[in-house]
Amino acid sequence: MKENSLLVIIAAAGSGERFGGDTPKQYMKLNGKSVIENSVYPFLVSKYVKQVIIAISKNDEFIEKQDFYNSKKVEFVHGGDSRQDSIKNALALDYKDFEFVITHDAVRPNISEADIANLYKDILNKNVSCSFLYTPVYDSIKIVGENDITKDKDKFLLVQTPQICRLEDLCNSLNKCIKDEVECPDESYAIEYSNLSLSKVKGRRSNIKITEKSDLEMLNNFLNISGIGFDLHRYENGDGIILGGCKIDCNYRIVAHSDGDVLLHSIADSILGATGSGDIGLFFSDKDPKNKNLDSRKIINHCLNILDKKNLEIFNIDTTIICEYPKINPWREQILNKLSEIFKIPVSKIGLKATTSEQIGIIGENKAIAVQSLVNLKEKL
């Protein structure tokens, strides 16, 4: 396996493929990047890949905004009406120096560098014209007809990309298909049509082709943006505290410039942390007179606006309140309901736990209350 030896063609000309919105599927967001950025990335970092050609549609208005647009490894060609035309257009450029070409779909974002290496290894070991990724069929399978007829699923397999071909064999095979007016669903078919040899490598079922909106939702569930928060405030004698927007009766009050809602402050910091936006002090200084007795729900609204701008939403929140008094349990439900209202997420997505400090230290001696929190964010679809 030679380093810097592979040519890659990515078919991304499918401009009509939308979920109904304005953005074609390959440019929808997935895990903080676009689908196509995810699809292209493993090729950019693979040591075996020398050049990546991306076949885009003529009126593509999104491509310039992609993170790989200025990469030296990447070139663009205009795609044709069909997939095989796009691949053909890319191969029409002068790539005689390459022995092998990998083809891939812009809307298969969940591939890895290992997939590339496995295919390269396979085509060399088996000395074939093409090697492709596949998965077995695990569901029952029927042929569609007047009466759908069940077939033996073990006799079928699902074909994925990437696929690797000997460049010369692929060029000849595609020409033959075009001449015979045969449409290729993928490059392995062109090779098969020319009666050339093929091999296959078992892929992963998670290497899905984004076709329906639910495909994107599924991949997006793997996203993990987390932030942690901590806040502590001093106690003095008083007639109650505010926790999560709820007034709670007890013999203490919180010493603070704002309303001292230590629970909301901690969660706010975890959101600001997860989004890389700094901390509460940056936006709501405790030196600023206009923040005197500030309602902490304003801080949360600020955080929710940041999430909105970054197209993120809260997946779940977990918190631990550390204090001797008040006892949290009697207030638990009320606080949870309030948090659900403030953060606009269901109660089932909020963790609210309480512990004491075993009567030692400043918290144990009722001189302070603290809250630890964690938030997980996900991309808004």
Q: Which residues bind Zn ion (CB under 5 A)?
A: 231, 265
Following DSSP, what letter does each residue of 184-223 receive, concatenated?
Answer: PSSHHHHHHHTT--EEEEE--TT-----SHHHHHHHHTT-
Q: Which is nearer to Zn ion, 102 or 323 (CB)?
A: 323
CB of 43 to Zn ion, least distance (A): 47
Following DSSP, what letter does each residue of 286-339 receive, concatenated?
Answer: TT-GGGTT--THHHHHHHHHHHHHTTEEEEEEEEEEE-SSS-SGGGHHHHHHHH
Q: Which is nearer to Zn ion, 40 or 268 (CB)?
A: 268
> Coil, strand, or helix at residue 248?
strand
CB of 272 to Zn ion, least distance (A): 13
Q: Which is nearer to Zn ion, 294 or 350 (CB)?
A: 294
Torsion of CA 143, 147, 151, 157, to 10 degrees: 20
Q: Which is nearer to Zn ion, 105 or 231 (CB)?
A: 231
Q: Which residue is nearest to Zn ion (CB)?
A: 265
Q: Is the peptide bond before 162 cis (omega within 30 degrees of 0)?
A: yes
Q: Among 271, 234, 240, 172, which Cα is nearest to 367's?
A: 234
Phi-psi region of 127 (alpha: psi -120 to 50; beta: other; left: phi over 0): left
Number of CB atoms found within 10 A of residue 234's CB: 14
Q: Which is nearer to Zn ion, 12 or 294 (CB)?
A: 294
Please identify which residue in the block is written with the tokens 């069909």. Answer: 82
Give the residues across from 372 on adjacent strands: 230, 320
Q: Which is nearer to Zn ion, 225 or 369 (CB)?
A: 369
Q: Which is nearer to Zn ion, 115 or 231 (CB)?
A: 231
CB of 231 to Zn ion, least distance (A): 4
Token pair of 297 as six digits: 């729900």
> Coil, strand, or helix at residue 112?
coil
Largest pairwise CA distance in the chain: 89
Q: Which is nearer to Zn ion, 312 or 323 (CB)?
A: 323
CB of 252 to Zn ion, least distance (A): 15
Q: Which is nearer to Zn ion, 26 or 258 (CB)?
A: 258
CB of 283 to Zn ion, least distance (A): 13
CB of 374 to Zn ion, least distance (A): 17
CB of 256 to Zn ion, least distance (A): 6
Indicate the helix (H) or strand (E) that contains 116. Answer: helix 113-126
Strand positions, DSSP E, the chain = 6-12, 29-30, 33-34, 49-56, 74-78, 100-105, 130-136, 141-143, 149-151, 157-166, 198-202, 225-237, 241-243, 246-248, 252-255, 312-322, 350-355, 368-379
